[in-house]
Structure 1
């Protein structure tokens, strides 16, 4: 089972857009997802600050700044190798 992680921060309009897309795709496909606040982790802040929102699929960076609904759906439905 896949897992999506959204890394963002409060008050970020791109994060709001990403959250909406992720929630829709995850809901349709029955995939779990979580959201991490970049402001609560020095490690996340150092790694992703200029890229938020960042989307991870199974712990691997998938998208940043904008989430492509089609690309996310394809990643979650592709056969695993």
Structure 2
């Protein structure tokens, strides 16, 4: 997975590890971050939920691999996939679609 800096970012994600597959030109700040690794079947499941929700709500997302970043590996290796919403840990192991939608809606109301 490629990492690109797209400007402002959540504080939990290092600037040099940011990429947004839905917005390669960096026009919007991704609200969802999926932390995982290649070959992780739970990450595949989480990715599908995140893709669906981000498309439905027109919200950007990015994916980071623990294999590319020792800090992420140290922090999240036993929990992947980990979902961050607005830079804060939201879920791990599984992504519940209704909870993710609610968290994104809550963030808009703040």
Task: Tell me the TM-score range normalised by the shorter chain.
Answer: over 0.9
Unaligned runs of 5+ in 2: 1-28
Q: Which has the higher contact order (CA 8 A, sep 6+)?
A: 1
Residues paired across the two proteins, number: 81
RMSD: 1.3
Report the TM-score, using the length of structure 2 for normalisation. 0.70
Q: Map Cα deviations across residues 33-77 of structure 1 (whole Å, 9 max, x no partner).
A: 000011010000000000000000011000000000000000111
| TM-score between the two structures when normalised by the length of structure 1 | 0.95
Structure 1 stretches lacking a partner, 5+ long: none
Q: Find out whether 1:51 has 2:79 as its counterpart.
A: yes
Report if the CA contact (8 A) 1:15-1:53 is conserved.
yes
- Please list every run of at least 4 consecutive aligned residues from structure 1 whose deviation after the TM superposition is greater than 4 angstroms: none
Q: Which has the larger radius of gyration?
A: 2
Relative to its length, the structure with more strand (as a share) is: 1
Q: Which has the higher helix share?
A: 1
